[in-house]
Amino acid sequence: MSPSTGAALRMLAATVDAKAVAEIGTGTGVSGIHLLHGMRPDGVLTTVDPEPEHQQFARQAFRACGFASNRARFIPGRALDVLPRLADAGYDLVFCDGDRLELLEYLAESLRLLRPGGLVVFEGVFANGRTVDSGPQPTEVIRIRELLRAVRESQELVPSLLPVGDGLLCAVKR
């Protein structure tokens, strides 16, 4: 994750005064650290990843940054298995950085999870410039294009594409 993407995530979390954030794709915890820095001091990050070792790295990184252990809830598993168990309208922000083939499903789950005025954010939507390239594209790029179209056409969302890092697609739920 680029420093500009991290700064944008911090700012977005602060903008919605985030107390509850869901993150799809824990990775090594870099995005989670930025989100936690932007969240309210009593906020909790719920992070989902199919790889338990990723979550262990992130747990250590959060601790090294001085975050109390109760600031993050780690749930191992596939996002589409875990997300349906999370509370409807219980989140201020949902950050999606998981399997590119499941983007439309993440969008549907995010709309259910977000409170009105909440924010959904997708990372990497430029796909290193492939999103706008003509010609045949891999399935993941086709899925990103479908996501961009769905968000743009949604009456439920107010979208913006931020040109930081590899592209942040942000949308506020009406």
| Range(s) of the domain holding residue 126 | 3-173
Those residues with Cβ within 8 angstroms of residue 46's Cβ, 6 or more apart along the chain or in another chain = 20, 21, 22, 23, 72, 73, 75, 86, 91
Per residue in 58-115, pLDDT (tens digit) is 999 999 999 999 999 999 999 999 999 999 999 999 999 999 999 999 999 999 999 9
Nearest to 55 by CA among 82, 25, 80, 91: 25
Per residue in 117-137, pLDDT (tens digit) is 999 999 999 988 777 777 778
Nearest to 99 by CA among 83, 117, 118, 88: 83
**CATH number of the structural domain spanning residue 45:** 3.40.50.150
Count up the domains in the chain and report the number: 1
pLDDT score of 125: 94
* Stated pTM of the model: 0.95
pLDDT score of 132: 72
Question: In this structure, which amino acid lies at residue 154?
Answer: S
